[in-house]
Structure 1
């Protein structure tokens, strides 16, 4: 008989006294309590192409391809998968996909039991990973450049969801990104999202990205409204990096009634997606790129839109649409929207939609991207169907 309470209790008691590299053995050690012979953690690599085993020392476990294995299917669909002598459970923190947990054994493992253990593993992994480098080392399938190290250290989790809003983002090239960055925060009924594309690449671009995120968070936490936030960002750029700039989209969504306010600072236009179709581009630009505001006396313009329940807003940097293949053909906005629409109509989880988007960009380009490609998808899904 499975003793799930005992298994979870043991993990919660022992993990706070263990280093991050000891967590795999602790998790494997509770397998007999839940009717399994073994339990193995698999983490998604940065490119989200493979699931890499976080196994106890001395054990050799092969990675699992995300696009061609049952383990990968559990990751992409967020549904449990079963195979001969195996069960794979999606490993998520809230809605952020971390990987999967594999339960091995000949017995009939109860999925509810596996779910409880997996949920505990996710919380322990998130809380312990900051105290060591084992998770970061495993997730990297090639060396990461310093500029990318700086940017990834700035970012919030790629996926966040509450009962009525969700935000999902992707970044490429994940090991050499430098200029693109995003941030978001939910404060009460207001969801704030910012996407920034700084000029240049490498360390200089990552320094600008760091300033963008820091100044954005500072303005937000100071309580500035959207227009004042854009003005503050612009002044920080012009005072600290005169002559350099960043394009940006700043968004505030009131999740009570779906009121969306946007400032487009010289950035590609955000796309409004309704009922699985991109219906139009939100107006823009409404302001000069951040750092170039001294060329105009006009305050940043704020566009206001009333969303319908289920609406999505797609933000992207020009590295997505400008990616070219060997014949010089651009990926383009039409291909971007078609891919997103097909994925949404297939009812894929939003993080999987975005993963497939960035893989399509990389496949089209056929080699290392020359510019960062970043996209953010915001969704408003109120439980009150009369809203909006």
Structure 2
């Protein structure tokens, strides 16, 4: 019986002995423990369109497209993949929690044996944990993930973002933003403290360094207010004051929300932002009311305090939030992508039972294709999903049933 747990523990114990550049060598040293000859780490690039090999040990590998390869299927579907024409290998998603990092190729004469799936999952989880830890101390992972030079404004924003996906047994938060290498004004944040999930989505005015500097201030002020213990309304007031103090004449639209994971009660402030959509049973039910406050930075123009709308979510409900770069994208004929296309796309994705992170990835790819891969504005979308424990999350099933495997025809 192959014990992936022993291999995973060995990885954790020995990870500190090498630098970030040694990760491929480290992973291949543990490969024989699960009956593999070697393993190759593939990392998703920033656009989530390619899987790029982290080389340094084992046979050379080429970059793989996510849309057309088995490795890509492992990444998008969060399931082990194997194929009859490659009987000596399988591909396992690299996940940190539910944050998709890439895929792990395992080459083994036992690759066709389903008994290898559990140790493969255990090793893949350990590889993902070590990968995230070691990338803090070097740039090799960042360099591999970048297929184009990243502008300084985007560097600022990406350095402030939380993981794109976070999930528990009853919550999912997932987001995506484009253009990856030139984003400047859009930013988001979230935090789970006890039973309260806090979420913020911001769209600052302007472009480039000025917009990213303001985005940095806005998200830092949001975190400071949240960590100080301010309620939702006072948080909006605090951010507004900081924007007026440090960036007079500028503003940011925002959605600030709190979700009580026990009851499903959502409280949301819309500060001049596109209205979030409520989705239920695979359909868009309605847009949530808004705006309930002026854009952040313009609070001095009104004597009214921000108001929070309350919405009682049903089990399984989703909230879709987005910036205007999604709906304002224009095709060749000048027609906007628009709210109708956005809703239609998301409804079809839900009916196809796609994992929420994959829905976001495909949405931004569709928006990019609509505007010939040339966005005029930052485009960000975020999904918030509430499922009490009696409604299992489909994309977490692999954690309790690691033998689920897809065999390609």
Q: TM-score, normalised by structure 1?
A: 0.97
Q: Quick check: 2:202–2:255 contact (8 Å CA) kept in 1?
A: yes
Q: Distance in 2 between matches of 1:332 and 1:3?
A: 51
The answer to which of 281-290 and 1-10 deviates more is 1-10
Task: Tell me whether 1:185 sits opposite 2:230 in the alignment.
Answer: no
Alignment of 1:165-244 (within 5 A): 165-244=171-250
Which residue of 1 is the match for residue 90 of structure 2?
87
1:3 to partner: Cα distance? 4.6
Alignment of 1:23-102 (within 5 A): 23-56=23-56, 60-83=60-83, 84=86, 85-102=88-105
Runs of 4+ in 1 over 2 A off after TM superposition: 1-10, 57-60, 105-109
Q: Distance in 2 between matches of 1:341 and 1:364?
A: 18
Q: Quick check: 2:225–2:238 contact (8 Å CA) kept in 1?
A: yes
1:7 to partner: Cα distance? 2.2
Which residue of 2 is the match for residue 126 of structure 1?
132
Q: Distance in 2 between matches of 1:221 and 1:242?
A: 25
1:56 to partner: Cα distance? 1.2
SS in 1 for 2:184: coil
Q: Distance in 2 between matches of 1:268 and 1:360?
A: 19
The answer to which of 109-118 and 212-221 deviates more is 109-118
Q: Any stretches of 5+ residues in structure 2 without a counterpart? A: 392-409
Which residue of 1 is the match for residue 368 of structure 2?
362
The answer to which of 6-15 and 177-186 deviates more is 6-15
Q: Which has the higher contact order (CA 8 A, sep 6+)?
A: 2
Q: Quick check: 2:40–2:58 contact (8 Å CA) kept in 1?
A: no
Task: Tell me whether 1:151 sits opposite 2:157 in the alignment.
Answer: yes
Which residue of 1 is the match for residue 313 of structure 2?
307
SS in 1 for 2:100: strand
1:5 to partner: Cα distance? 4.1
Q: Distance in 2 between matches of 1:310 and 1:265?
A: 26
Alignment of 1:213-362 (within 5 A): 213-362=219-368
RMSD: 1.2
Change (3 A) 1:204 1:59: farther
Cα deviations across residues 185-241 of structure 1 (Å, max 9, x unaligned)?
Answer: 000010000000000010000001000110000000010001000000100001111
1:367 to partner: Cα distance? 3.2
Task: Tell me whether 1:12 sits opposite 2:15 in the alignment.
Answer: no
Change (3 A) 1:367 1:120: closer
Q: Distance in 2 between matches of 1:135 and 1:70?
A: 22
Cα deviations across residues 261-295 of structure 1 (Å, max 9, x unaligned)?
Answer: 01000000000000011110000000000000000
Alignment of 1:110-121 (within 5 A): 110-121=116-127
1:14 to partner: Cα distance? 1.3
Cα deviations across residues 363-386 of structure 1 (Å, max 9, x unaligned)?
Answer: 00003211000001000101257x
Q: Distance in 2 between matches of 1:3 and 1:204?
A: 52
1:60 to partner: Cα distance? 2.7
The answer to which of 259-268 and 376-385 deviates more is 376-385
Q: Distance in 2 between matches of 1:228 and 1:250?
A: 11
1:59 to partner: Cα distance? 5.3
Q: Quick check: 2:258–2:267 contact (8 Å CA) kept in 1?
A: yes
Task: Tell me whether 1:21 sits opposite 2:21 in the alignment.
Answer: yes
Q: Distance in 2 between matches of 1:292 and 1:5?
A: 55
Cα deviations across residues 30-83 of structure 1 (Å, max 9, x unaligned)?
Answer: 112211111011010000001010121685310111000000000000000002
1:254 to partner: Cα distance? 0.6
Which residue of 2 is the match for residue 107 of structure 1?
110
1:6 to partner: Cα distance? 3.8
SS in 1 for 2:95: strand
Q: Distance in 2 between matches of 1:179 and 1:222?
A: 25
Q: Quick check: 2:4–2:118 contact (8 Å CA) kept in 1?
A: no
Q: Quick check: 2:254–2:271 contact (8 Å CA) kept in 1?
A: yes
Task: Tell me whether 1:373 sits opposite 2:376 in the alignment.
Answer: no
The answer to which of 198-207 and 82-91 deviates more is 82-91
SS in 1 for 2:101: strand
Q: Distance in 2 between matches of 1:230 and 1:334?
A: 30
Change (3 A) 1:6 1:309: closer
Q: Quick check: 2:4–2:123 contact (8 Å CA) kept in 1?
A: yes
SS in 1 for 2:104: strand
Q: Distance in 1 between matches of 2:273 and 2:267?
A: 15
SS in 1 for 2:292: coil
Change (3 A) 1:222 1:293: same
Q: Any stretches of 5+ residues in structure 1 without a counterpart? A: none
Q: Distance in 1 between matches of 2:60 and 2:332?
A: 39
